[in-house]
Copies of this chain bind each other. A is one copy, B any other.
């Protein structure tokens, strides 16, 4: 990776994607997304695409929401987890290790339970009790650690080594990227080509997979990642051409607190994404209220990032959308404690 790779200079033209023939050096290709889709058929939910005239009017565009909040375990993470665990099972593994305090944990736990694989999840001891309970409910063993004294990657690697079980990373892993790419694949297959696809971005698993599906199925579609302004490592990396880091940002978008893009996801994003933009937490809350109150969809803060860029505007990066454009928006998940609504929205 160089500081100014020829295909990703800041300010590069934002229409059209590079031809697929340049993708041999990337970690994942579209054929692997197609294979993942076959593995997920009848297993993952073919999630609905919501449209609303009210939303179209508010955005001055034709907006299609791909609702992964309705996916098994309440987020797109199930796609990549199941795809990975099935392949690991076929390779002869009896179980897996993962580290996550959030949606990846639940996804790995459910996929393991469906496939008869033992799952060990390394979780901080300050993780929300509901998420730990849900993960345990899917049959996983939880290993708690103190995040102020222990580094989770190191702990997971130790457990993996002592148990002989593979670690399933949350995003920087080819089978995870391929699985996440099936969400955008479904969207294009259902609604046809799009002008723009907006995708939230933490470590870039969903964004990179979406880029690959767009390049194959809607090559003129601009794919744009959206991050919280407080955790803008991806937007800065996209501009600088090297992976930049923001540790533990104080955004409400807990799924996008990931400190950096991955070594596998970043080159795909560099190659195929048109931009990564950011939104403020205030815009995120406004968008959440719109989603909950007007569209009747329970979406978690991270899941509203992509729509917030469209509905409320961006901080870093400019989102230019032609009036009436066909815009896909990935709603990534809906795992939120509903009692937190008063905290999010105030007590009206």
Contact = CB atoms under 8 A, between A and B. Distances in A.
B337 A339 contact: no
Nearest to A75: B296
What class of interface size applies to chain A in its complex with B?
20 to 34
Given A293-B298, A297-B296, A298-B293, A338 B345 contact: yes
Q: Is the interface of A mostly helix, strand, loop or mixed?
A: helix
A131 to B, nearest CB: 12
A339 B342 contact: yes
A289 B338 contact: yes
Nearest to A72: B53
A265 interface: no
Contacts of A130: 348
Q: Residue among A295, A337, A341 with the most chain B CB within 10 A?
A: A341
Interface string A275-301: 000000000000001001111111100
A259 interface: no
Interface in A287-320: 289, 292-299
Interface of A: 48, 50, 53, 69-70, 72, 74, 130, 289, 292-299, 334, 337-342, 345-348
28 contacts: A48-B50, A53-B72, A69-B296, A70-B295, A74-B294, A74-B296, A130-B348, A289-B338, A292-B298, A292-B338, A293-B298, A293-B337, A296-B297, A296-B298, A296-B299, A296-B334, A297-B297, A339-B341, A339-B342, A339-B345, A339-B346, A339-B347, A339-B348, A340-B348, A341-B341, A341-B342, A342-B342, A342-B347
